[in-house]
Amino acid sequence: MSSLPDVVPLDRADEVFLERARVIAHGGWGMVHPNPMVGCVLVKDGRVVSEAYHEVFGGPHAEVLALERAGSEAEGTTAYVSLEPCNHFGKTPPCAQALLRAGVRRVVFGATDPGVSSAGGADTLREAGVEVIGPVWNSRAARTENPFFLHTAKDRRPFVALKLAMSLDSRIASAPGVRTRITGTEAECEVHRIRTGFDSIMVGAGTLRADNPRLTPRLVPPGR
């Protein structure tokens, strides 16, 4: 069962495959900015033919990679995509046209593309006779999947997040000015992973004087 509330009811199979597209999209974390993270799963007769996610900025989009991996088997498939297929020429050709050329018969997508130039892929597919279902997720759910991209595209403001390590008794150090390790290795690795998705990191003057932190993602593969 998908963890995201939807605005379009789906049958169980559609829900499962769209959820898979959502999950694999996160493989692009820290690598595709300023593009969105996108996952695509191609399915025929209840069987996954291929799947892919947008791996790196400037590289092929998820739909194109999935189509390439499927080859001739892409014809007649249903494409489950976490974000509406793009409809413009940028660093890569439009994904909507790639899906049409491959003979995909049906598309189910999670969130609408908010871009002025890239949106409209769903309409292009529908006009060509492809069955299109979406957007499936409501706007709040969509933002949890691509917070940076959707926040910037819709609100025209930078996405800012706060990271705070605190003990159960609400302390951030054992004593003022004393460097204290509060979180464990697992949490530290997650913080480093999250860092790869941000363009910059800021700390307060007190933290700088006490810890002089490097603020680099050292415990995970570096992002773009």
Single out the catalytic residue among 63, 75, 145, 188. 63
Using an 8 Å Cβ cutoff, are 149 and 25 in contact?
Answer: no
**Tokens representing 212?**
């002089």
CB neighbour list of residue 37: distance below 8 Å, 6 or more residues apart: 25, 26, 27, 28, 29, 53, 54, 82, 145, 146, 149
Listed in sequence order, the residues at least 6 apart from 115 whose beta carbon sits closer than 8 Å to its beta carbon are 86, 88, 153
**Rounded Cα–Cα distance for residues 80 and 135 (Å):** 11
- Token reading at 135: 């957007």
> CA-CA distance, 128 to 176, in Å (whole number)?
66
CB distance 30 to 1 below 8 Å: no
Contacts of 12 (CB under 8 A, 6+ apart): none
Q: What is the C-alpha to C-alpha distance for residues 212 and 220, in angstroms, rounded to an integer?
A: 20
Active site residue 63: yes
| Polymer length in residues for the chain | 224
Give SS3 for 174.
coil
Confirm if 218 and 192 have CB atoms less than 8 A apart: yes
Catalytic positions, written as ranges: 63
